[in-house]
Structure 1
Amino acid sequence: MRSFRKPVLLAVLGVVSLAACAKVPGDARKPADTPKAGASLARTAGSTVEAKPAAGTPDARAIDAIRVLEPRAVVEHVGNAPLPGFREVVVAGQVAYVSDDGRYLFIPGAGGALYDTVNKNNLTEVSLAGLRTKLLQQIPQSDRIVFAPPNPRHRVTVFTDISCGFCRKFHSEIAEYNRQGIAVEYVAFPRAGIGSDDYRQMVSVWCAPDRRKALTDAKNDRMPPMRTCKNPVDMEYDIGQRAGLTGTPMVIADDGTQLGGYVPPDKLREILDKMEPAKKAG
């Protein structure tokens, strides 16, 4: 099974990378290998030839913008861009575009984004977070499969698939997420697509008398009996598509921020704790 990860440049620039299974129809049956911890993707200056333009030029400002986000990054190329007012840069084989004044960084392609390097904001994520919040409000609590501690400190919505290796790893630690004070609210995203075997199995989970047990069993290769009923799987799948899902699991905070794919329980708690002051200020 293939796994989806953000482009290398996003990881080099310190952006949260996704450990997730790709949304690829027909690729949902074979369990994934156990995910391995990724090494740092930032290159050292001695491992490649670094571009060194004259100080004060747009090229130099482009490199400075990259360094603001990731001081260790090595810009291998900087030059003219097809976008007026931008310079083209290459970091670790990935192309990005930096505005001539060095403020805005645009990473094209799937999972791409526009960054404000002065305020260190992902402007694309800010826009998508608002959209996700509205979309998730359309999913009733009764249509979610919830694993929560008695008095949760944090709550996340997780788009999940029963066959994805990263989804299974996430769920294998569900008790620890709860111990960390995190309530996990699962919604369905059969990444092999509507009408697939994966889809029918997820419908069976959502139609089971005990959804929590059925989901846990399914993630451990103990598929529940095939059932059909009025269920939210189609609706949740559609919302996942509209929310920009590219892989499962997709973990979303209450404010719509995408927090990653598989994130270890202690790390997720740390991220959510750091978000609290911003939430109160907002």
Structure 2
Amino acid sequence: MQRLPARCSVRAQRRDEDRVLAAVRKAYPGTAVDRAVRTPMPGVYEIWMGANVAFVSSKNPRYMVFGRLVDLKTMRDLTDAKLRAARVIEAEPSERAADGPAYIGPMPVADAITVKRGTGRRVLSVFTDPSCGYCRQLEHELQKLTDVTIHYYLLPFQGREAPLAIWCAKDRPAAYAAAMGDAPMSVVREAICEHPIDRNQALAAKLRVQATPTLLFGDGALVPGVMSADELDARLSAMLDKSKIKEGVSDATLSFE
């Protein structure tokens, strides 16, 4: 099969999104518009206003359509996961936390892009999509953490091309960092290497991950949305302290016996 390269870059996509965003803001100066995001439908962009979303044509932003974008071929609601994430991000930190442990057990770290800083003793798993704006926002916070090991599980919620391009890169952590920053990233239409994208999607479904980003902590708690570096640092440190206490109790028991 012949490969069909799509000479599209993340930087070019963001320029288009910035252009549409500027046009909408000019047309509606009294409306607080956060961002514009390209959709799979050519010429149609999501316009986000807090936790609310509308759709506009890039050629004429005069009219907005409020609703959801649905892929009728797969019968998948493409807007639902983003709406959930937006509502979670606008909630208070206490409201964002999961009700309890969602998963406790070994994770398939071989299917993740792993980044280690410092001692790496504090461990965090992140379900992420390189085309997700909130994932970029979270990455800015994650970059501030020290002594941490982060496992990134790539998901194709907004298309498979970008996750595949990152996984098939020679330096996956660098490719992911570039996608989360301003560097251009070439995208191909088909996989050029063995990849875990389908397994990651199955894992996400098993854990009921419905939006990106979603964080999985060592105690099994799933937290969707963006957390600040201070929130993350406090939670990871508290978990590490609990782990040390358990180790101390175990050592004392062994010595007593």
State the Cα distance separating 1:112 from its structure 2 match: 11
Distance 1:258 1:202, change over 3 A: same
2:168, 2:193 within 8 Å by CA — same for their partners in 1? yes
Corresponding residue number in structure 1 for 2:163: 202
Q: Which is richer in helix?
A: 2
Cα distance in 2 between the residues matched to 1:200 and 1:212: 17
State the Cα distance separating 1:273 from its structure 2 match: 2.0
Identity rate, percent: 24
Cα distance in 2 between the residues matched to 1:4 and 1:239: 29
1:160, 1:187 within 8 Å by CA — same for their partners in 2? yes
Corresponding residue number in structure 2 for 1:223: 185
In the alignment, structure 2 segments of 5+ residues that lack a partner are: 1-45, 52-75, 248-257
- Encode CA deviations 1:202-247: one digit per residue, 9 max, x unaligned: 1111011111121122233622342521101110111011111021
State the Cα distance separating 1:174 from its structure 2 match: 3.5
Q: Which aligned segments of 4 or more residues in structure 1 are displaced greater than 3 angstroms?
A: 1-5, 24-28, 34-41, 276-282
- Give 1:191's match in structure 2, choosing from 126, 138, 157: 157
Equivalent residue runs for 1:1-282 within 5 Å: 1=46, 26=78, 38=90, 122=99, 125-126=100-101, 128-130=102-104, 133-134=105-106, 136=107, 139=108, 141-177=109-145, 179=146, 181-192=147-158, 198-220=159-181, 222-226=184-188, 227-279=191-243, 280-281=245-246
In the alignment, structure 1 segments of 5+ residues that lack a partner are: 6-23, 42-68, 71-110, 114-121, 193-197
SS of equivalent residue, structure 1 residue 173: helix
For these two proteins, the number of residue pairs brought into alignment is 169
1:188, 1:202 within 8 Å by CA — same for their partners in 2? yes
SS of equivalent residue, structure 1 residue 129: coil
Q: Give the aligned residue type for 1:224.
A: S
What TM-score does the superposition give when structure 2 sets the normalisation length? Answer: 0.54
Corresponding residue number in structure 1 for 2:31: none
What TM-score does the superposition give when structure 1 sets the normalisation length? Answer: 0.50
1:208, 1:224 within 8 Å by CA — same for their partners in 2? no
Q: Give the aligned residue type for 2:196.
A: P
Cα distance in 2 between the residues matched to 1:35 and 1:245: 15
SS of equivalent residue, structure 1 residue 247: coil
Distance 1:200 1:150, change over 3 A: same
Cα distance in 2 between the residues matched to 1:3 and 1:219: 22
